[in-house]
Amino acid sequence: MTVSLSDGAANRVACHPMYAHIVTLPGDGIGPEVTAAAVEVLSAVGRRFEHEFTFQDHLIGGAAIDAGGHPLPPETVAACRQADAVLLGAVGGPRWDGGDSEVRPEQGLLGIRRELGLFANLRPIRVLPELVGASPLRPEIVEGVDILFVRELTSGIYFGEAGTKDGTSYQVMQYTAQEVERIVRVAGDAARARGGKLTMVDKANVLEPSRLWRKVAAELVAVEYPDLDYDVVLVDAMAMYLVSRPGDFDVVVTSNLFGDILTDEASMISGSLGMLPSASLGSGGPGLYEPVHGSAPDIAGAGVANPLAAILAAAMALRHSLDLEGEAAAVEAAVAAAIASGLRTPDIAAGGASVGTGEMTATVIEALG
């Protein structure tokens, strides 16, 4: 089986103008605000490049629990399966904490990833030159950093058997060789298309599933990617290297839990979680695009959320699901132009003057032309 970086739609012949149906899952907290910003930008892309995009909102997370008691209604799953791409805002918030584990908002997100078979989560960490000062790390450490994290998304401890019995809790970490192979292939393809360097992160000195990762990845790389500069790093050491020498990494592939933790850490390289998009892809069907950030309930509804992660996620949808590379690059350039013009939302303003979600979005759209 060939696993490509696209979700299959890329095999379509690009014809202009194109029609695409996009399902939006705004979710909770700042999710609706940043999703609306991404939809505005995609609508502007449609007008500028003469594509017809249709959008349809569906429930997920806490919003879905409030409406019908379940974080992932079957109608939502069915609608996503019919879509060309899915845009998600964020899920979760203190309002739904403390409920039993099956009705947590996060189960909606894990459920849709699993239902759509989105095993490959791409999280690019790039530092715009103007935002070097927004990082808590020293400029010489973050300048020029360009890492692509490839996180396994539908297996591992996140989906292992779990339970609590007689005051003891457990959750099983497990991986099959096939699950490791397919994610390493996605990362290998990406590394080949980028800087030619691939780093696999595990905890093989302690964990049995990590030893499987190490063996399977090494064999696969030797046979299918002998041209890559391949390296393995233990996850604890990686946590250190991400803040001491992040510039040494190109593509990093790792398991579900390690990828979750390391990408939050890596977000600080770029200054704010509010800047980071992600794409979750499978080997058929629509991809799902979301900011790496969470629902930020403390600022929800205040109109100050940074919309750029959601907008950059929409750019990834244009690239990976709709095969519109030129349009994706135009959105990324418009985001860079908005930042270069000096505009900052509070999360990247380093205490200086800032604008709200609406003004930042309007500026990106203006920069699109």
Query: Residue 109 binds what, of Mg ion, ligand IPM, none (CB under 5 to 8 Å, by partner type)?
Result: ligand IPM
Please select the residue that binds ligand IPM; options are 88, 109, 137, 312, rule is CB under 6 A.
109
The answer to whether 260 contacts ligand IPM (rule: CB under 6 A) is: yes
The residue whose Cβ lies closest to ligand IPM is 106
Taking the C-alpha atoms of residue 293 and residue 309, their distance in angstroms, rounded to an integer, is 8
> Is 165 annotated in the active site?
no
Which residue number, 84 or 260, has a Cβ lying nearer to ligand IPM?
260
Residue 158 is among the residues annotated as catalytic for this protein: yes
12-20, 106-114, 307-315, 335-343 -> range binding ligand IPM (CB under 6 A): 106-114
Q: From the candidates 57, 146, 231, 264, which is the catalytic residue?
A: 264
Least distance in angstroms from the C-beta of 160 to ligand IPM: 14
CB of 140 to Mg ion, least distance (A): 28
- Name beta bridge partners: 149: 123, 252
**Residue 304 amino acid letter:** V
CA torsion 156-158-160-166 (nearest 10°) is: 140
Strands 287-291 and 162-165, by their bridges, are unpaired
Q: How far is CA 214 from the centre of its chain?
A: 24
177/168 Cα distance (integer angstroms): 29
In whole angstroms, how close is the CB of 342 to ligand IPM at the nearest point? 30
Nearest approach, Cβ of residue 291 and Mg ion (Å): 11
In the chain the first and final C-alpha atoms are separated, in Å, by 41
Per the annotation, the verdict on 260 as an active-site residue is: yes
Q: How many residues lie near ligand IPM (CB under 6 A)?
A: 6
Residues 183-222 that bind ligand IPM (CB under 6 A): none
Which of residues 24 and 363 has its CB atom nearest to ligand IPM in the complex?
24
The string of DSSP letters for 135-146 reads SSS-HHHHTT-E
Give, as ranges, the residues between 83 and 102 that touch ligand IPM (CB under 6 A). 91-92
What's the angle, vertex CA 135, arms to CA 133 and CA 140, rounded to 5? 70
Query: Of residues 260, 289, 323, 347, which has the active-site annotation?
Result: 260
Q: Looking at this protein, which amino acid is placed at residue 77?
A: V
Q: For this structure, is 203 an active site residue?
A: yes
Please tell me the number of Cα atoms within 13 Å of 224 on its side-chain side.
20
Angle at 103 between CA 306 and CA 31, to 5 degrees: 15
Tokens representing residue 68 in the block: 């019908």
The number of residues that bind Mg ion (CB under 5 A) is 1
Those residues whose C-beta lies under 8 Å from the C-beta of residue 242, and which sit 6 or more positions away, are: 249, 262, 265, 266, 269
Interface with ligand IPM includes 347 (CB under 6 A)? no
Taking CB under 6 A as the criterion, the residue among 4, 21, 55, 106 binding ligand IPM is: 106
* Position among 33, 189, 260, 323 found at the interface with Mg ion (CB under 5 A): 260
- In angstroms, rounded to a whole number, what is the distance separating the alpha carbons of residues 188 and 331? 26
Question: Does residue 265 touch ligand IPM according to CB under 6 A?
Answer: no
Positions marked active-site: 158, 203, 236, 260, 264
Instruction: Give me the residues that bind ligand IPM (CB under 6 A), please.
Output: 91-92, 106, 109-110, 260
